[in-house]
Structure 1
Amino acid sequence: MFVKKLMKAKCVQVCVFFCCAICISYYAYMDQIFKNTNQVSIEIGEVHVVLNNTNHTHMILWWNQPKWIESFPRKCGYCSLTTDRSVFSKSSVVVFSLANGNIGSKPPVENIKRNQNQIWIAFSLETNVANSWNREYRNKQWKNMFNWTWTYRPSADIFMPYGKVSERLKPLSKNYSMIFQRKKKFAAWAVSHCNAHSLRDKFVEKMRMCLQNKSIDIFGKCGPLKVSSSEFPTLLNNDYKFYLAFENAFCDDYITEKLFANYNNDIINVVRGKSNYTKTLPIGSFINTNDFRNINDLVRYMIKVSENETLFSSYLIQKDRFQAWGNLKEQYQQSICEICQKLNNPFLKRKSIVNTEKELGQCIKPGDV
């Protein structure tokens, strides 16, 4: 009996010992968990402190800056631009111009040695057609190297169009009958890039063949007529009913300054390209060649508009509810500011672009000629 009581007492002692050991271990474990949790919270807080520092100064390096940008703004907010390659490793962003030379057949550093916090931007206001002479950025060494695109396409990370159209606070009011009466000439076309990929030269030639007692006057290097750039808008306003805003290439979203530069004039723009123009221009303010079965139908409709005061005026009335902006310097300034804003965003997205050529959009040979 005594032995049984002794064994029972020892069992109780053993149980108490193990219970205490378990409690001590559990406390130590939970204490470590709380410490680790606090440490994670501290580390996350420190990361957010860095990322939320919107006053951080960023250097944007132009690796091969186009000459036409040299006189443009070099600063926006806490970001400044430079062309000094010696600060490459210190730069937050490196911009490579795809349409210019000196980009290099391969990146300046291997991907494995690259600063992974640095953003590389592929810049181009030209199409794949125009960039065809420069194949450096198409080399396999450049794949997965760019993080953002900076182009004329709305899908780009930095969208820089050749111009924009916005609605006026108050539509213009004009004597449209007087405008119609004073215009005695049919259509004008200013062009200096001859034999373009879009076959616009052949298209205009066929248009002229369909005309009888009306004509299309061609100005610039590709035509017989000459006029200064300062005098051309006045000439359009006073004499012509249509302006041919034909692009040199049929590429996705490609609309150049030729449209925006003449949009505010008292003239109807006739557009031809691969872009969806209704996303850029108000319906009823322009004529799209793609809306017609053939060139003959297009010309017949243009003649009808040119001879009908009410129909002609309806285009100008609709157009005068809007205003075009085409200052490339201002567009560039806005793009730089957008880059700076993105760099100071705590939720900065840094992706990897596999095929830069694909990002510039598809270009095709038109089938309307």
Structure 2
Amino acid sequence: MRSWRNRWLWTVLVSIIWLCTIAVLYLYLTRRESPRIRNAVHELLWWTDDLHWNYDEMRHCGFDTCRVTNNHKRLHEARAILFYGSNMKVDEFPMPRSGRHLWGLLHEESPRNVPFVPYTEFLRHFNYTSTFSRYSDLPLTTQYLPHPSDLTQLDYQSTFLNKQRHQFNEQLASVVFLQTDCNTMSGREDYVRELMKHIQVDSYGSCLHNRDLPEQLQNDYLNNLYSDALLRFLSPYKFMIAIENGVCEDYITEKFWRPLMAGIIPIYFGSPSIRNWQPQNQSAIYIDEFPNASALAAHLQQVGGNESAYNAYLGHKFNRRQPIQNPLLVNHLLMRGYQMRRSGELSNEDSLFHKFECLMCRRAAWTDQRRPANKRHYNCPLPPVYAPLEQQKEPKYAADWRSMMGVGRCQAQLLDAFWRANIPYTKAEFDARLSEMMEQNKCN
């Protein structure tokens, strides 16, 4: 009886495997690109000025194949319209929108460039997104970490004793700052200026500059964020200021990952969810845990003068058995579909653009759903949040940034009105309506 039952189960299993194989083969043969079905291939249209060249490719995404182009004359043939968020203009959206068009948004940056993005009135018109938020359809949360092994490798690691020697022999500060932008939503420059009153900081960028980079790093370090020369240059420092230019959930840039790669403790302010992404329970010093820069400086002096206290932040380097103890980070790094090189670039086959195109290709092929994105797909606190200053002062440009985001709110509401009406409009028409809304305080 048992032998008969085993044979029966084996027969059923073989039959299931055979049927699955036939189904997979059928899907492959019927969906792959061929001259006969070329007209059935869905088209994706990039609606952006960032592609300055003629872009027309067949994108193969597993069983799905799509034609991807930036030829605006193909608008009526397109199944999905793709937008690159960094340089969106309010008057450059294709109107009227066809009922068959899916809209997809790829946006890597904080709201400083495009202030209308964080608002629900804008986001709900997009069906699929790829942003830094873990809740987007293709999350880019760890895009600025080139490879998981960069956190654990010891190529740039300097011991506590060596860091002490560098400070003494080369007269280095314990804290390094490397930024060029001195007008940020987070008030970064104001906070660092206050910190400098209480502890020595070596500032190599054009913002609060007080020390020169080596000649070989002066020309192009902004385009070589993780170069071998730059990481070796930074590694003797104990701490590195890591303040994002804007505060958004899951918006984490090289400012956090680079010091971790170089074996330096980040002094971090930015993403409110940053503790969800650190490799161990104690991987950085967080500015929001201190009432002001004076209190932070006292803590830095305490940690910087105690080897065991200092090394406690470097478990991702020294704990060789389990250097990354954060399951969320491990899972995200394993599951993400893109791979960045040390230079900060992505190989063609792994580029964010190609991965996003494949996301939209699959959605275009398999769904007619027009579900809306929501504010969690971008997830930026409003109004802008900034680092805590002494005597509860505001950063120099805080009012300007609040005003800019107020304009962004009006822009989002006006875009929503035009898009729901589904009518074309000019920049002049948009600007006139926007001025009227702001003068009459019609923006909620």
Same fold at TM > 0.5: yes
Residue among 174, 187, 199 paired with 2:187 = 199
**Which residue in 2 is equivalent to 1:122?**
105
Residue among 158, 172, 176 paired with 1:188 = 176
Task: Name the amino acid aligned to 1:90.
Answer: E
Whether 1:147 and 2:123 are equivalent positions in the alignment is: no
**Which residue in 2 is equivalent to 1:362?**
381
Matches within 5 A, 1:263-278: 263-278=260-275
Contact residue 135 and residue 377 of structure 2 kept, 8 A: no
Whether 1:219 and 2:208 are equivalent positions in the alignment is: no
**Which residue in 1 is equivalent to 2:138?**
158
Deviation at 1:275, TM superposition (A): 2.7
Whether 1:88 and 2:86 are equivalent positions in the alignment is: no
Name the CA shift for 1:339/1:191 in 2 (closer, same or farther; >3 Å): same
Contact residue 147 and residue 350 of structure 1 kept, 8 A: yes
Contact residue 82 and residue 104 of structure 2 kept, 8 A: yes
Q: Answer 1 or 2: which has greater strand percent.
A: 1
5+ residue gaps in structure 1?
Answer: 1-48
Contact residue 198 and residue 247 of structure 1 kept, 8 A: yes
Contact residue 165 and residue 281 of structure 1 kept, 8 A: no
Contact residue 186 and residue 247 of structure 2 kept, 8 A: yes
Contact residue 247 and residue 272 of structure 1 kept, 8 A: yes
Residue among 300, 303, 307 paired with 1:302 = 300
Residue among 307, 310, 313 paired with 2:311 = 313
Contact residue 94 and residue 119 of structure 1 kept, 8 A: yes
Contact residue 245 and residue 271 of structure 1 kept, 8 A: yes
Cα distance in 2 between the residues matched to 1:255 and 1:69: 31
**Which residue in 1 is equivalent to 2:19?**
none
Name the CA shift for 1:269/1:80 in 2 (closer, same or farther; >3 Å): farther
Show CA shifts across 1:53-108 (max 9, x none).
Answer: 6547443221014369999x984522443211112222232112333145626x42
Q: Give the share of equivalent positions with the same residue, in percent.
A: 20
Cα distance in 2 between the residues matched to 1:352 and 1:188: 43
Name the CA shift for 1:66/1:288 in 2 (closer, same or farther; >3 Å): farther
User: Over alpha carbons, which structure has the higher Rg?
Assistant: 1
When the two chains are superposed, the root-mean-square deviation of aligned CA atoms in Å is 3.9
Task: Name the amino acid aligned to 1:258.
Answer: K
Deviates more, 1:177-186 or 1:81-90: 177-186
Matches within 5 A, 1:276-295: 276-282=273-279, 283-295=281-293
Q: State the number of aligned residues.
A: 307
Cα distance in 2 between the residues matched to 1:340 and 1:177: 51
Cα distance in 1 between the residues matched to 2:135 and 2:381: 13
Name the CA shift for 1:223/1:69 in 2 (closer, same or farther; >3 Å): farther
Deviation at 1:247, TM superposition (A): 0.7
Whether 1:259 and 2:256 are equivalent positions in the alignment is: yes
Name the CA shift for 1:358/1:274 in 2 (closer, same or farther; >3 Å): same
Cα distance in 1 between the residues matched to 2:50 and 2:81: 14
Residue among 209, 216, 223 paired with 2:197 = 209
Aligned with 2:262: secondary structure? coil
Aligned with 1:315: secondary structure? coil
Cα distance in 1 between the residues matched to 2:53 and 2:135: 23
Cα distance in 1 between the residues matched to 2:108 and 2:381: 14
TM-score (norm 2): 0.59
Task: Name the amino acid aligned to 1:268.
Answer: I
Aligned with 2:195: secondary structure? helix
Cα distance in 2 between the residues matched to 1:218 and 1:169: 25
5+ residue gaps in structure 2?
Answer: 1-25, 34-40, 222-226, 325-329, 334-338, 390-444
Deviation at 1:293, TM superposition (A): 3.0
Deviation at 1:172, TM superposition (A): 5.0
Deviation at 1:261, TM superposition (A): 3.4
Whether 1:60 and 2:81 are equivalent positions in the alignment is: no
Residue among 96, 112, 116 paired with 1:110 = 96
Name the CA shift for 1:241/1:88 in 2 (closer, same or farther; >3 Å): same
Task: Name the amino acid aligned to 2:361.
Answer: C
Cα distance in 2 between the residues matched to 1:138 and 1:98: 14
Show CA shifts across 1:5-35 (max 9, x none).
Answer: xxxxxxxxxxxxxxxxxxxxxxxxxxxxxxx
Contact residue 287 and residue 387 of structure 2 kept, 8 A: no
**Which residue in 1 is equivalent to 2:360?**
339
Contact residue 74 and residue 81 of structure 1 kept, 8 A: yes
Name the CA shift for 1:274/1:170 in 2 (closer, same or farther; >3 Å): closer
Cα distance in 2 between the residues matched to 1:69 and 1:159: 27
Cα distance in 2 between the residues matched to 1:69 and 1:278: 41
TM-score (norm 1): 0.69
Aligned with 1:240: secondary structure? coil
Aligned with 1:130: secondary structure? coil
Matches within 5 A, 1:8-23: none
Deviates more, 1:359-368 or 1:163-172: 163-172
Aligned with 2:133: secondary structure? coil
Contact residue 104 and residue 360 of structure 2 kept, 8 A: no
